[in-house]
Structure 1
Amino acid sequence: MRELILLRHAHAEPADNGLADIDRPLSPHGLAEAEAAGRWLLEQRLVPDRVLCSPARRARETLEAVLSLTGYVEQRLEERIYDATPGTLAALVDEHREVERLLLVGHNPGMERLVALMHSGQSGDYRGMPTASVAVLSLP
Structure 2
Amino acid sequence: MHELILLRHAEAVPIEHADDDQQRPLSTRGEQEAQAAGLWLAAHGSQPDRVLCSPTRRTDETARLALAAMVSAPVPQIAAEIYDASPGELLALLDQHGDAGTVMLVGHNPGIERLVALLVEGRSDEFRGMPPGALAVLHLNGALEPGNARLDAFWSP
Category of TM-score, reference length = shorter chain: over 0.9
Return the offset for 1:18.
4.1
Counterpart residue type for residue 93 of structure 1: L
Q: Residues 11 and 17 of structure 1: is their aligned pair in 2 closer, same or farther, counting only changes over 3 Å?
A: same
Superimposed CA distance per residue, residues 44-86 of structure 1 (whole angstroms, 9 cap, x where no aligned partner): 1101000000000000000110111114314210000000100
Return the offset for 1:19.
1.7
Greater relative contact order (Cα 8 A, min sep 6): structure 1 or 2? Answer: 1
Look up the SS of the partner of 2:76 in the other structure.
strand
Return the offset for 1:111.
0.2
- Structure-2 separation of matches of 1:18 and 1:80: 22
Matches within 5 A, 1:100-139: 100-139=101-140
Return the offset for 1:92.
1.1
Detail structure 1 runs of 4+ shifted over 2 Å in the superposition. none
Look up the SS of the partner of 2:105 in the other structure.
strand
Q: Give 1:31's aligned residue.
A: 31
Identity over aligned pairs, percent = 51
- Structure-1 separation of matches of 2:18 and 2:51: 30
- Structure-2 separation of matches of 1:58 and 1:3: 24
Q: Give 1:49's aligned residue.
A: 49
RMSD: 1.0
Tell me the TM-score normalised to structure 1 length: 0.97
- Structure-2 separation of matches of 1:54 and 1:23: 12
Counterpart residue type for residue 70 of structure 1: M
Q: Residues 102 and 18 of structure 1: is their aligned pair in 2 closer, same or farther, counting only changes over 3 Å?
A: closer
Q: Give 2:150's aligned residue.
A: none
Query: Size of the alignment, in residue pairs?
Result: 140
Asked whether the equivalents of residues 55 and 79 of structure 1 are also in contact (C-alpha less than 8 Å), the reply is: yes
Runs of 5+ consecutive residues of structure 2 not aligned to the other structure: 143-157
Counterpart residue type for residue 33 of structure 2: E
Runs of 5+ consecutive residues of structure 1 not aligned to the other structure: none
Tell me the TM-score normalised to structure 2 length: 0.86
Asked whether the equivalents of residues 49 and 74 of structure 1 are also in contact (C-alpha less than 8 Å), the reply is: no
Matches within 5 A, 1:52-131: 52-71=52-71, 72-131=73-132
Look up the SS of the partner of 2:19 in the other structure.
coil
